[in-house]
Amino acid sequence: MSVLRRSGPTLLGDDMNVSFEFFPPRSGDMESQLWESVMRLAPFGPDFVSVTYGAGGTTRQPTLATVKRLLAETDLAPAAHLTCVNASKDDVDAVAREFWEAGVRHFVALRGDSPDGIGSAYRPHKDGYRNAAELVAGLKAFADFEITVSAYPEKHPESPDFMTDIDMLKRKVDNGATRAITQFFFDNDSYERYVERVRRAGIYVPIVPGILPVHNFSQVAKFADLCGASIPDWLATRFEGLEQDPQTRSLVAAAVAADQVMDLVERGVQDFHFYTMNRAQLVYAICHLLGLRAPKGNGTVTTATAA
């Protein structure tokens, strides 16, 4: 794995770590975009890269194929997402076994959203895991996977209050999760208050902020509304009038995300997870602004991938 050179006065030390999320491709063009993004970001030496999993296993084979290629052609450590949606325990366990046999040792364990769409009521499968806490326990019973779970600085939209939300996180950790990645957010004060609540509840695993670069503000605003993430007025103002100006919009997006991460670094945060949307340009620019450097001529993509 490559070692990063850090530079610039913004960073507080040499312990900054990044990870990246990708989603499996559904067409030839999307596959090309995915692997161009992987090759572009791999030299930063992320702790791991996660690959999403469609509701009810709709991307099971593309997710597995993507993970297998990451294992075969790169030095990256892939983490496969896994959900409970529309699946019995036996079905989920079969998927876990398939990924284990492929070489996966890290899962991002999620309940998943309703197949009727985000915001619709979730109904567990009658023979399935009812929530992510049960899924974590099932995975740990099968093998000693490393397990990452989700966290919600502004609480999950289906939780009646923060106490209920944090109790679910504690159950996931008590069952074996060793890291939580947050839903994206833009208010760092909300994240900091959330971490304080989590620590007071006796949860001490890393709470890694999930950072979403704003490729398209209107789309992000709609998605944020569905998943309970707030959009500050200042953020809307930053992107106002740029709907038909993608070049300037990208520059603003990189600056906004870099400012957010730099502020979190000043608050003592050292681990970051980037939702790449299979687009490397903004994430690469943000990492560069943060002082991350890949050693020249020593990326993490092997000759097989480069070929």
Helix (H) or strand (E) holding 61: helix 60-73
158 three-state secondary structure: coil
Interatomic CA distance for residues 91 and 128, integer angstroms: 8
Interatomic CA distance for residues 228 and 6, integer angstroms: 35
Structure tokens at 189: 């004060």
Helix (H) or strand (E) holding 233: helix 233-239
User: Which of the residues are catalytic?
Assistant: 21
Question: What is the bridge-based pairing of β-strands 146-151 and 179-182?
Answer: parallel
Interatomic CA distance for residues 208 and 229, integer angstroms: 16
Question: What is the bridge-based pairing of β-strands 292-293 and 5-6?
Answer: antiparallel
